[in-house]
Amino acid sequence: MIITALLWGATPIIEKIGLAKVDPLVGVTVRSAIVTIGLFIILFLMGKGRELIEVSGKNVLIFGASGVMAGLLGMWTYYMALKMEATSKIVPIAASYPLVTALLGALILNEGVTLPRVIGTALIVSGIWLVK
């Protein structure tokens, strides 16, 4: 997880630099195209190409909806905000998505609401308020 944190922590800096002279939608498109090519290469190198064609129609719709929500609309709005504001302000706000996940998890997936989750949620809200 340390490597993940380092990669995700450095990425907004690179994106902010890239967005200096590039429209956010163009940036998302370039990013997504490169990621897609990379995913296909890794998928086939790992011998999982057959699994790709065996994915059910239902799961294609589920992952497709996720891709449109997070990979297209989420990244596009994030890039627009990143282009206009400081990374140190935008990234913490964008990273507050666990609030939405916790709420929807409780409402849709019937996941329990525990004291640690409530405290964690309150800390996230406090952090966002402090960054603003």
pLDDT tens per residue across span 84-121: 999 988 988 888 888 888 889 999 999 988 899 889 88
Closest CA to 119 of 98, 89, 92, 104: 98
The answer to whether 105 touches 111, Cβ cutoff 8 Å, is: yes
Half-sphere exposure of 40 (CA within 13 A, CB side): 6
Predicted TM-score (pTM) of this structure:
0.83
Of 65 and 96, the one with more pLDDT: 65
DSSP 111: -
Give me the residue label for tokens 């402090």: 130
Of residues 35 and 118, more confidently modeled: 35
Distances (CA, A) of 118 to 96, 106, 113: 14, 12, 7
